[in-house]
Amino acid sequence: MVDIISESKGKDGRKIVLVSVENLIPFMKEMRTNGFDHLSLVTAVDKKDSIDVVYHLHSMERNEYVVVKVNTKNSVVPSVTGIWPSANWDEREQYDLVGVRFEGHPNMKRIFLPESWVGHPLRKDYDLSKVQYINMDEDGEDYVTFDAGDGW
């Protein structure tokens, strides 16, 4: 049994378990062997001074839902792709949009935005007034420019 920090109940009636970053992988492995075979959703929530990463776990057989949360100050969390392959794209998306690095992920690249994009849009301190233009260099690699004249 892996240590947890706290346990509570959400508005939707689902159990919320808060674990520490170090205990995340052993805890998730235990959940996987307990029959939670479907990782429904990975969400990162920017809380301004720290980031919450929320995992919605689901057991197909028992139709049971559990929400697992970790809180990270330096926005680095171990990847669970090795336990549930469905985390692969979800974690890439959260890295792209919120800027959480998932350590041990096989392909930690942006999924929606071009690789050279500056900043992570779902961060609360993201500057929306700066317009970024995407262009392509001669090798076919994209790059971002802040000048409308260079982009298209």
Of the listed pieces 19-27, 34-42, 72-80, 141-149, which binds other proteins according to CB under 8 A?
A: 34-42
- Of residues 27, 84, 95, 102, which one binds other proteins by CB under 8 A? 84
85 to 144, contacts with other proteins by CB under 8 A?
85-86, 88-89, 93, 97, 111-113, 121-122
3-state secondary structure the chain: CCCCCEEEECCCCCEEEEECCCCHHHHHHHHHHCCCCEEEEEEEEECCCCEEEEEEEEECCCCEEEEEEEEECCCEEECCCCCCCCHHHHHHHHHHHCCCEEECCCCCCCCCCCCCCCCCCCCCCCCCCCCCEEEECCCCCEEEECCCCCCC
Nearest distance from C-beta of residue 4 to other proteins, angstroms:
18
- Of residues 4, 5, 41, 131, which one binds other proteins by CB under 8 A? 41
17 is a site residue for other proteins (CB under 8 A): no
Q: Which residues in 119-142 are b (16+ Cβ under 10 Å) and which e? A: ebeebeeeeeeeeeeeeeeeeeee
- Of residues 12, 49, 125, 127, which one binds other proteins by CB under 8 A? 12
15 is a site residue for other proteins (CB under 8 A): no
- Written as one letter, the residue type at 57 is L
Nearest distance from C-beta of residue 25 to other proteins, angstroms:
17
26 is a site residue for other proteins (CB under 8 A): no
Interacting residues with other proteins (CB under 8 A):
10-12, 14, 37-41, 43, 45-46, 54, 56, 60, 63, 67, 84-86, 88-89, 93, 97, 111-113, 121-122
